[in-house]
């Protein structure tokens, strides 16, 4: 029963954190695409890696 109550308390916090990670990953991906289109490949790699790291976590 305690575990269930703990889950009820923590679940909204975890779900909110996941949504924010998805938003941050999308921002990094879009920045990476912008850098790529301008030929700034090293910056694009950095942004794509940041997006991947957030989604892989």
Going from N- to C-terminal start, the domains of the chain cover 19-57
pLDDT for res 18: 74
Per-residue model confidence as pLDDT tens digits over 29-57:
999 999 999 999 999 999 999 999 988 76
pTM of the full structure: 0.68
Higher pLDDT, 23 or 56: 23
CA distances 37 to 10, 23, 40, 47, 48, Å, are: 41, 21, 8, 13, 13
Alpha-carbon distance 13 to 18, whole Å?
A: 9
Per-residue HEC secondary structure of 10-50 comes to: HHHHHHHHHHHHHHHHHHHHHHHHHHHHCCCHHHHHHHHHH
- Over residues 3-24, the mean pLDDT reads 64
Evaluate if residue 27 carries a pLDDT over 60: yes
């Amino acid at each position: 029963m305690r575990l269930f109550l703990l889950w009820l308390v923590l679940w909204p916090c975890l779900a909110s954190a996941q949504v924010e990670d998805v938003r941050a990953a999308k921002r990094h991906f879009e920045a990476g695409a912008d850098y790529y289109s301008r030929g700034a490949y090293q910056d694009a790699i950095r942004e794509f890696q940041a997006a991947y790291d957030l989604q892989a976590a």
